[in-house]
Amino acid sequence: MKLLRYGPVGAEKPGLLDADGNIRDLSAHVADITGAVLDDASLERLRALDPASLPVVPGNPRLGACVSGFTKYMCIGLNYSDHADEMNLPYPEHPILFMKANSAIVGPDDDVVMPRGSTTTDWECELGVVIGKAAKYVSEEDALDHVAGYCICNDVSERTFQNKLTGQWTKGKSCDTFGPTGPWLVTRDEIADPQALAMSLDVNGKRMQTGNTATMIFTVRQIISHLSQLFTLHPGDVISTGTPPGVGGGMKPPTFLKAGDVMELRIEGLGSQRQEVRADD
């Protein structure tokens, strides 16, 4: 099942994508796609609906982030062995964790706005994990039972803010619009193995990132278990799990985004994103 949110910013409605690619309105059944409807029982109730009985949403509406109301949007840094190799950095002993501000989260095709003074804004295609059941002190064996589904995340990053403004990575990760998420939340029953998903990112039609979740240093199971030892993961929380090689900062010479550039992201089974880059006024 592919759940989504559609409509103007701040007024998104819940929906699902049917087998023919039509958006179907879920407003009669749930108020929004939040953690409150992502437990197994609630998802099973939605799965039992006949999509043909739901109203078709006409046209081509804007899509919002595929989940709303999360308490945490967490990101794992340097989590692909081939990305660590391209950056000439040692593999971390434990997952590197930082957080992205909720105000950074936007729809999958919304514009990405470079903040004033930015000259080193970069791209990062990532597998997003959405929690469906509260997780505290969870074992690796049981970790995936706490997942509602998966999505695409673009962990847009301003490298100068991230690395040279004296502080945590969050400074370069939480600028407005730096968290495109979606287009839809694909429930975990549709993804046989989250460690076997091909992924890519193009800028202006040129392939920049090619990777596979198989090269994660810490798997989805390990990440969920590790984080749950530190704090409770709540339904609706999002974990962006790291990026494969091909980021602009790893190129020789480094290559960064400029106004007018277009990013296109794809992950196997999870759809695609497209964002145009513009400078802040």
d(CA 114, CA 226): 33
**pLDDT per residue rounded down to tens, the chain (281 residues):** 999 999 999 999 999 999 999 999 999 999 999 999 999 999 999 999 999 999 999 999 999 999 999 999 999 999 999 999 988 899 999 999 999 999 999 999 999 999 999 999 999 999 999 999 999 999 999 999 999 999 999 999 999 999 888 878 889 999 999 999 999 999 999 999 999 999 999 999 999 999 999 999 999 999 999 999 999 999 999 999 999 999 999 999 999 999 999 999 999 999 999 999 999 98
- The Cα–Cα gap between 151 and 130 comes to 8
Residue 119 belongs to domain spanning:
69-279
> Could you tell me if residue 174 is inside a domain?
yes
CB 70 within 8 A of CB 233: no
| 233 within some domain | yes
62 inside domain: no
As for how many domains the chain has, the answer is 1
**E strand or H helix at 204:** none
- Whether residue 53 lies inside any domain: the answer is no
Residue 98 within any structural domain of the chain: yes
Residue with the two structure tokens 């469906």: 132
Between CA 224 and CA 96 the distance in angstroms is 13
Q: Within a domain: residue 229?
A: yes
Residue 200: inside a domain: yes
- Say which CATH number the domain at 158 has: 3.90.850.10
Residue 218 has which token pair?
Answer: 């810490």
The model scores a pTM over 0.75 = yes
Cα 50 from Cα 52, distance rounded (Å): 5
- Evaluate whether residue 147 is within a structural domain: yes
Summarize pLDDT for 19-28 with one digit per residue, the tens. 999 999 999 9
Query: Tens digits of per-residue pLDDT, 188-244?
Result: 999 999 999 999 999 999 999 999 999 999 999 999 999 999 999 999 999 999 999
Helices in 107-248 by DSSP H: which ranges?
Answer: 159-164, 170-173, 220-230
